[in-house]
Amino acid sequence: TTRANCPPDTAELGRATWAFLHTTAAYYPTNPTPAQQGHMRALLASLPALYPCGWCADDFGRAIAAAPPVVSSRESLSRWLCERHNEVNVKLGKKAFSCDWAALDARWKDGPKDGSCDCECAAVTGSGHVLTA
């Protein structure tokens, strides 16, 4: 049996959402325009209102209120998001992830140095992990 075509549960939705958010942060500009910063703030601010896991949305709303998104660069946004994800990890009894720059880029942008994630995808960004530029 496969659950591939079933609606996502909380964990699957969470994994997909974190993948979207961390990857978007990894490719966010180093020097975002005011418009790009506004779009990112709006994207993050929409989650407490719309995310279809009520208690996740409520807690994320509190997390954003306590630590407003830092959208001034991809480095600061990626770190901010890593810290918020770690708050959820700790709440769920999981290990915290390293928010070191190298660890974040290896996980969400470049892949590990040993090349184990490299692919022949119609490459985009040099390392070829994301499908379109």
Interface residues toward ligand FAD, by CB under 6 A:
10-11, 14-15, 17-18, 22, 47, 55-56, 59-60, 82, 85-86, 88-89, 92, 94, 97, 107
Contact by Cβ (8 Å): 89, 83: no
CB of 100 to ligand FAD, least distance (A): 10
Q: Which is nearer to ligand FAD, 59 or 75 (CB)?
A: 59
CA distance 130 to 11: 23
Q: Which is nearer to ligand FAD, 18 or 118 (CB)?
A: 18
Segment holding 56, helix H or strand E: helix 54-66
Structure tokens at 1: 């049996």
Q: Which is nearer to ligand FAD, 27 or 97 (CB)?
A: 97
Q: Which is nearer to ligand FAD, 93 or 126 (CB)?
A: 93
Total residues belonging to the chain:
133
CB of 122 to ligand FAD, least distance (A): 25
CA distance 69 to 21: 12
